[in-house]
A and B are shown apart, each in its own frame.
Chain A
Amino acid sequence: MAKVTFRSSDGSEAVVGLDTPMSIMRAAVTHNVAGIVGECGGNAMCATCHVYVREEFLDRLPEIEDEEEEMLDGVTAPRSHRSRLSCQLVLDDALDGIVVDIPEAQ
């Protein structure tokens, strides 16, 4: 079982545990975590599942593909080096324990 911690801009935290691998966007939407929308259903089309991944997990993430790279330029909140689209991050054992910050706006 892999775990992800979502920290929202007001400081509140939600921890979601999963038995099967799924994207962090899907984990958030299916567990009612506010602030991650996923309007396009996980197609890297809408840039409404933006998260900031905590520094210590960055080197465990898959490379940013071209289309995610381009869509990240369109996120509503400021983009940083920690920015990712959570629909492109599959939560599996390798990412167990990951902590992400949810931006103020999508």
Chain B
Amino acid sequence: MNGGPRCAPGVVVIGGGHAGVQTAETIRKADPDVDITVLSDEVPAPYQRPPLSKSLWSTAVETLPLRNRDFFADRRIDLRQGDPVTAIERDHKRVTLRSGGVLAYRDLVIATGSRPRRLALPGADLDGVFYLRDLADATRLHRALRGVRHLAVLGGGFIGLEVAASSAAVGLQVTVLEAAPRMLARSVSAQTSGRLYDWHVAQGVRLRAGVRAVGLVGDRDRVTGVVTADGATVACDAVLIGAGSQPNTEVALAAGLADENGVLVDRYLRTGDPAIWSVGDCASFPAADGARRRLESVQNAVDQGRRVSANIVATAQGRDLTAFRAVAWFWSQQASLKLQIAGVADTTACEVYERRYDEKKFSHLLVHEGRLMAVESVNAAADHLAARKLLEVGATIDPVRAQDVGVPLRTLIPEAGELSPRAAEPASA
């Protein structure tokens, strides 16, 4: 869009989600001249995913653009839609596109995101079986749900519980089957999981933990039931599968930059190839505790997008890089219930302290060896915001005092100067 070809290759971003778009925006702010291209494999212009599950029961699926079209034009960001990358040719520093096009890069950012893990169940290809990730999924599900009376949800994770709650609220009979012994087992403490269980049951959702689906049965190509490991059949006329997600790593794997759990980056978000970086859902990065982690959240995508941009610009200018370090946070809207999580913890290794306002408003504080690791808040936004600050400064808290809801959590945030030694370390150390 700037006329003829340029001499110097610029920054190429693969992926038009939160991470990719944030990367392009931040690089442009720091560098007015470099060519920036965003390659989105989806045909629609970049949009927000969170509103999709929220609007399943609205009159239409709401699409909220991530940025408006002029945003890209104003910043001379070349947005190309619906032309997936087929290969990264590292030796030539270029990518090839399905259309046959070839694009050279100085820096390449892999922000390919993730997709729902497909269950290899017999009958999974029947009509009436859905996943929920992108606009096309949401549109299909939105259309189909109108005729559904009994929805079976496979997987008691965020997506599964969100759709279960909103569907039960409009009168559907909903059964959630979770293979693990409890809901949200990978995401929250047993205490929070237990409270959510009670809440969903009170909304009329049938929750069955420790029940594994082994197949789907149908009548004339339409799903009519889920067969469980104990041989029973749960009758239904639609199935939503929410069995976690997997990173989109095909192109990176072929280029030797990934393993099965993500694109491998160092703490600067750079891959083993100094010209290639990765951010967002697909990036497997070393967290502060040394463990590799891949996080699926808007916050992580946006914060990594900002960090990688700064590091790319720093590299081009011969300056030092800064390690990625950010407090992770997540949210899930389950009908009228708002779950907000700050921090990442091994929930089984933590002591759990409760701040309880009432039945529907509380927070669980997860503490490991005296240190606050994560806070899970239900309908308690102020606790969540304070928790993000507490985690950012690495505060040690008095858990007994923190349980007193008469004391706002934010008053426990230490003043500058009384921080713990770990928090005082520079982020780049």
Mark the stretch among A2-10, A35-43, A51-59, A90-98 that contacts chain B: A35-43
CB contact under 8 A between A29 and B385, given known A45-B338, A67-B338: no
Contact B50 A41 (CB under 8 A): yes
Q: Which residues of A contact B71 (CB under 8 A)?
A: 32
Complex partner residue of A71 from B18, B51, B299, B381, CB under 8 angstroms: B381
Complex partner residue of B385 from A26, A30, A70, CB under 8 angstroms: A70
Q: Which residues of B contact A67 (CB under 8 A)?
A: 338, 379, 381
- Smallest CB separation, A50 vs chain B (Å): 13
Contact B68 A39 (CB under 8 A): no
- Smallest CB separation, B1 vs chain A (Å): 17
Contact with A along B323-352 (1 / 0, CB 8 A): 000000001010000101000000000000
Contact A41 B381 (CB under 8 A): no
Contact B385 A39 (CB under 8 A): no
CB contact under 8 A between A42 and B51, given known A73-B382, A74-B385: yes
Contact B298 A40 (CB under 8 A): yes
Contact A30 B51 (CB under 8 A): no
Contact B68 A30 (CB under 8 A): yes
Contact A73 B68 (CB under 8 A): no
Total interface residues on B, CB under 8 Å, equals 28
Asked if A31 CB lies within 8 Å of chain B CBs, one says yes
- Smallest CB separation, B144 vs chain A (Å): 23
Contact A42 B381 (CB under 8 A): no
Q: Which residues of B contact A40 (CB under 8 A)?
A: 50, 298, 331
Q: Which residues of A contact B338 (CB under 8 A)?
A: 43, 45, 67
Contact B331 A30 (CB under 8 A): no
Contact with A along B381-421 (1 / 0, CB 8 A): 11001001000000000000000000000100000000000
Contact A30 B65 (CB under 8 A): yes
Contact B64 A42 (CB under 8 A): yes
Q: Which residues of A contact B18 (CB under 8 A)?
A: 39
- Smallest CB separation, B64 vs chain A (Å): 5
Q: Which residues of A contact B302 (CB under 8 A)?
A: 39
Q: Which residue of A lies closest to B66 (CB)?
A: A29
Asked if B195 CB lies within 8 Å of chain A CBs, one says no
Complex partner residue of B48 from A41, A44, A70, CB under 8 angstroms: A41
Contact A45 B340 (CB under 8 A): yes
- Smallest CB separation, B161 vs chain A (Å): 15
Contact B333 A43 (CB under 8 A): yes
Q: Which chain B residues have a beta carbon within 8 Å of chain A's beta carbons?
A: 18, 48-51, 54, 64-65, 67-71, 74, 298-299, 302, 331, 333, 338, 340, 379-382, 385, 388, 410
Q: Which chain A residues have a beta carbon within 8 Å of chain B's beta carbons?
A: 26, 29-32, 38-47, 67, 70-71, 73-74
Apart from A29-B65, A29-B68, list 10 A-B contacts with CB within 8 A. A26-B64, A32-B74, A39-B18, A40-B50, A41-B49, A41-B50, A41-B51, A42-B64, A43-B54, A73-B410
What are 30 inter-chain pairs, A to B, with CB distance below 8 A? A30-B64, A30-B68, A31-B68, A32-B68, A32-B69, A32-B70, A32-B74, A38-B48, A39-B299, A40-B50, A41-B48, A41-B49, A41-B51, A41-B54, A41-B298, A43-B54, A43-B331, A43-B333, A43-B338, A44-B381, A47-B385, A67-B338, A67-B381, A70-B381, A71-B385, A73-B385, A73-B410, A74-B381, A74-B382, A74-B385
